[in-house]
Amino acid sequence: MKRVYGGLVVLALVAVTGLFAKKSRKPYVETAPAYRIEGPAGAPITISEFSDFECPACRAAEGPRKQLLALYGSKVRFIFKDFPLEHIHPWAKSAAIAAECAGEQGKFWELHDLLYANQDQWVEAKSPPEAIEAYVKSLGLDNAAFKACLKDPKTVALIDADVKEGQERWVSATPTFFINGKRFIGGLQLSALGPIWIDKILAKKHG
């Protein structure tokens, strides 16, 4: 009989610990500079995207991403993370650095949108950095501060930290989205399966 009690004790410990672990799945704690975050801090849904400005699939995912954010409004907090795939996209990191520096002056999303909307042009340009610079100028940023930011090692460190985080989270393709910790690779998965997952989380919270 004592052996049965012992077994029950062990099973109870396993069950309590396992359920506690599952319950501890809070809205995923994600960090990024404030200019790369959209939506309220207390939103029940957190979507983070590991993206590469030179990646065509990331550009294609922009439509589904914006639709999803419009659909759920203030229930969603969106966080952009840099994951430049330098071995296939030689200018992706330069673009990411430029976007960080635009963010320093409050224009991250503006440059983000320009870089994706005109991806074919600047990627194919004779000098992609010059093409990016033209977009930066069009945003009316403080040129001296922008250039100083480009050279600041802290800017590169921000991107490197995102890349390291992505690697630790086994990101191997862009765009990779995480909705409260669950992974969706590419715009198609995001638009097809994302709402199902979000509705499930919201239903649990309200149920």
Partner 1 sequence: MDKETEVKSSPEKRASSSKAFRFISVFARLLIGIILIVAGVSKLAAPKEEFALIIEAYNLVSPSTALTLATFLPWLELLIGYSLLTGYLLRLFTVASGILFIAFDFALFSLKIRGIELPSCGCFGASFHPEPKIMIGVDFVLIILSLIIFKVQPIWALDLWAGKRNNHGE
- Contacts with partner 1 by CB under 8 A lie at 2-3, 5-7, 9-11, 13-14, 17-18, 20-22, 24-25, 167-170, 181-183
111, 191 Cβ separation under 8 angstroms: no
179 token code pair: 């909705």
Closer to partner 1 at the Cβ: 145 or 173?
173
Q: Which 3 state secondary structure label does DSSP give 12?
A: helix
Closer to partner 1 at the Cβ: 11 or 192?
11
Q: Which residues contact 194 (CB under 8 A, 6 or more apart)?
A: 47, 64, 68, 177, 179, 184
The minimum distance between CB 163 and partner 1, in angstroms, equals 11
**What is the Cα gyration radius of the chain?**
21
Closer to partner 1 at the Cβ: 56 or 181?
181
145 token code pair: 């501060």
The minimum distance between CB 166 and partner 1, in angstroms, equals 9
Closer to partner 1 at the Cβ: 13 or 71?
13
The minimum distance between CB 45 and partner 1, in angstroms, equals 14
